[in-house]
Structure 1
Amino acid sequence: MEFKILFSFLVLAMNPFLGHSQIKNFKEKFELPSEIKETSGLLLIDGKIITHNDRGDAANLYEIDSLSGNLLRTIRITNATNEDWEDLAEDENHIYIGDFGNNDGNRTNLRIYKILKSDFKNKTAVTAERISFGYEDQTNFSNQKNNHNFDAEALIVYNNELLIFTKNRQNLKTNVYKIPKESGGYAAKKISSANIGGLITGATHNKEDDSFFLCGYSTNSIPFLIYVSENRAPGDDLFSGGFLKISLQNELGQGSQIEGITNFNGGGNY
């Protein structure tokens, strides 16, 4: 993207069953530092914004002042490569980096890097554990550029597991897969699916009310949000209660490509 800008917004009175929502105080915060050429994942840790570049950069995380937008630190993952980093997630003790971008559908080395938060906060060079996985239902690994359902750009930690939301280029749905948080190799289990009519590029979980936001864009480049409320059946099927799709065309215009989203202070999001 030519412009790399961070926005914030508040969400009030979300009610998918009444079919409406209120997004308030949607505003530009700042332009991202020049080192951030293609921001993808977002986290907020200790009041600082954490992000990374998409494919092609070194294996770096960038820590940004949430008030000024100034780059504070660059943290290198010494035993990792950035083949196609797409999203960040966290739990109490770790940060997870999703290296699972799969534009052509033919990757057999999908992985998530896991680093200690204590190392991240105190060092500028850290080592990572590796979580490797493949999708349990993928059997075709030929080059299928822009015509398959096994790309992914969204990751969260939920119920002590990692959840991956796919970016389905073929059918414009998103599928949810889960894998353990521990290092090792796994077959990702499909647990939910929704016909969202677009391409999902990021996800965040609000622990205060157990809701989710996904971000993405349509095939005609209209950015949107997907809201999943806490009013759903118990269990793994996150979309059992439906979802609400919110266009951001008025706020961002057609052609904007959102790549990451993270929650702060309960009702706020970057």
Structure 2
Amino acid sequence: MSRYLALFLIVLLTSCSNYGQLTFVTKLPSKISESSGVVQLNNSTFWSVEDHGNKDEIYQVDFEGNLVKELEVKNAKNEDWEDLTKDPQGNVYIADTGNNNRKRKDLTIYKIPNPDIEPGDKIDAEKIDFYFSDQQNFTPKEEELQYDCEAIFYHKSFIYLITKNRRKPFNGEARIYKVPAEKGNYKAEFVGSFETCEEPNTCIVTSADISPDGTKIVLLGYGKLWVFTNFTWDNFAQGTMETIALGATTQLEAVAFKPNSNTSLLLTDEERAGTGQNVYSFELKE
């Protein structure tokens, strides 16, 4: 296939998909069809992981969709990797926190040193093991499916976790917890809760991040963003929450602030039914 024909097909497929307010950036590499987390450490590449059933690897991608590097994460197992975040020192945290049926007793966040400067093809991980402080029952009753988690972010030596509500009937509640961002075994402290909205297909939280200046927190859903401002710590849900309907119809699973920007977002989605597996950008209001 010629380069021009390939470019034409990408443009054609892009024009036939509904990305709403999102700006299409590039296709993800073929190896990354289930991007569940994204983090950006420099202006030319980003890192992504895949969720349940995929390799114990983290992938570096450039903004033309090329796979730059892949690192095997040692001392780690991908039970259900669901999000990525970073700290000011460039350490990256992998949330092995997917818990669809709330049966898991091995919830973990893997902490790895800055992958941008790793010279080899493997990288060591430390384990931050935890359990939810208010979870007493590990049997999957539909009205209590509150302990799945696909969204984390780092702030001042803590990892904040936001749950993905799977209960039936759905009530829109998302819960906030925090654990220290250091190796150990912890009881995740309950911080607070809030309601996203009432539609279960779009009102579940799939990723999170905090702006470099710490004044904005964004949560991602399937076609929605929730932006928190004017908050105090730890319960940021008591601040101002703005809901942004993205108008996108794809399975959005990952969001991150771009380096040195408090308004520019990077997003990815999973491949589903011939759509998705893309990288997008979105600009928040100042």
TM-score by length of 2: 0.78
CA contact (8 A) 2:219 2:225 kept: yes
Aligned position for 1:243: 241
Question: Shift in Å at residue 188 of structure 1?
Answer: 0.3
Q: Distance in 1 between matches of 2:50 and 2:143?
A: 21
Higher-helix-fraction structure: 2
Q: Which moved more, 1:171-180 or 1:81-90?
A: 171-180
Deviations 1:14-63 (A, max 9, x none): xxxxxxxxxx9731011110100200101011221100111111100000
1:225 aligns with 2:221: no
1:206 aligns with 2:200: no
Unaligned ranges ≥5, structure 2: 1-9, 15-19, 198-202, 267-286
Q: Supply the AA of the counterpart residue of 1:243.
A: M
Q: Which moved more, 1:146-155 or 1:182-191?
A: 146-155
Q: Secondary structure at the match of 1:178?
A: strand
Q: Supply the AA of the counterpart residue of 1:215.
A: L
Aligned position for 1:43: 39
Q: What does 1:1-270 align with in structure 2 at a 5 Å threshold?
A: 26-47=22-43, 48-66=45-63, 68-91=64-87, 92-117=89-114, 121-144=118-141, 148-170=145-167, 171-197=171-197, 198-208=203-213, 210-217=215-222, 223-229=223-229, 231-232=230-231, 234-249=232-247, 252-253=248-249, 256-264=250-258, 265-270=261-266
Deviations 1:134-156 (A, max 9, x none): 00000010134685100000010
Q: Which moved more, 1:188-197 or 1:136-145?
A: 136-145
Question: Shift in Å at residue 207 of structure 1?
Answer: 1.9
Question: Shift in Å at residue 257 of structure 1?
Answer: 1.5
CA contact (8 A) 2:163 2:205 kept: yes
Q: Supply the AA of the counterpart residue of 1:148.
A: L
CA gap 1:185/1:83 in 2 versus in 1, 3 angstroms: same
Deviations 1:221-264 (A, max 9, x none): xx1000101x12x3311011231111112xx23xx221000111
Q: Distance in 2 between matches of 1:267 and 1:144?
A: 40
Q: Supply the AA of the counterpart residue of 1:28.
A: F
Q: Secondary structure at the match of 1:239?
A: helix
CA contact (8 A) 2:96 2:110 kept: yes
CA contact (8 A) 1:75 1:120 kept: no
Q: Distance in 2 between matches of 1:120 and 1:203?
A: 25
Q: Which moved more, 1:197-206 or 1:167-176?
A: 167-176
Question: Shift in Å at residue 126 of structure 1?
Answer: 1.1
Q: Secondary structure at the match of 2:24?
A: strand
Aligned position for 1:17: none
After the TM superposition, list the runs of 4 or more consecutive aligned residues in structure 1 that deviate by more than 2 angstroms.
118-123, 143-147
Q: Secondary structure at the match of 1:28?
A: strand
Q: Supply the AA of the counterpart residue of 1:85.
A: W
Q: Secondary structure at the match of 1:138?
A: coil
Q: Secondary structure at the match of 1:142?
A: coil
CA contact (8 A) 1:40 1:53 kept: yes
Q: Supply the AA of the counterpart residue of 1:213.
A: V
- Relative contact order, CA 8 A, sep 6+: which one is greater? 2
Q: Supply the AA of the counterpart residue of 2:56.
A: A
Higher-strand-fraction structure: 1
CA gap 1:25/1:266 in 2 versus in 1, 3 angstroms: farther
Sequence identity percentage: 31
Unaligned ranges ≥5, structure 1: 8-23, 218-222
Q: Secondary structure at the match of 2:109?
A: strand
CA contact (8 A) 1:120 1:126 kept: no
CA contact (8 A) 2:21 2:246 kept: no
**CA RMSD, aligned part only?**
2.1
Q: Distance in 2 between matches of 1:121 and 1:46?
A: 14
Q: Supply the AA of the counterpart residue of 1:167.
A: K
Q: Distance in 1 between matches of 2:205 and 2:242?
A: 14
Q: Secondary structure at the match of 1:61?
A: strand
How many corresponding residue pairs? 237
